[in-house]
Amino acid sequence: MIGEKITQELISAGNDVTIGARNTIAAQSKFPGRSIKKVDVLDPLTVLPAIDGQEMVCICLSPDRTASKKDPMPEREGIQNILSASKKMN
């Protein structure tokens, strides 16, 4: 939702954008011809390859509205996974 709008604005402004998505087919249909990397922020093994070599990362995550407080949350564990991966890059 908001990630799509931000991505489109970055592309329209002439930025070279790499898109990270769980569903790469959907992302490719929305942004044809763009670089798409498969990433699930709740899976730490997918995060580092997705952000490696990127100059900047814009994070737009949305929670599962039916999830309970005990369920993994992208904005909680996902951010932790992204931060951990970025520390390994430096």
Structure confidence by residue, pLDDT tens digits, 21-54: 989 999 999 999 999 999 999 999 999 999 998 9
Task: Please give the model's pTM, rounded to 2 decimal places.
Answer: 0.78
Decide: 52 and 87 in contact? Cβ < 8 Å: no
Amino acid at 15: N
Strands (E), the chain: 18-21, 35-38
Q: What integer pLDDT is reported at residue 71 of this predicted model?
A: 83
pLDDT of residue 1 exceeding 80, the answer is: no
Decide: 60 and 75 in contact? Cβ < 8 Å: no
Q: What integer pLDDT is reported at residue 46 of this predicted model?
A: 93
**Tokens at 14, concatenated:** 């002439």
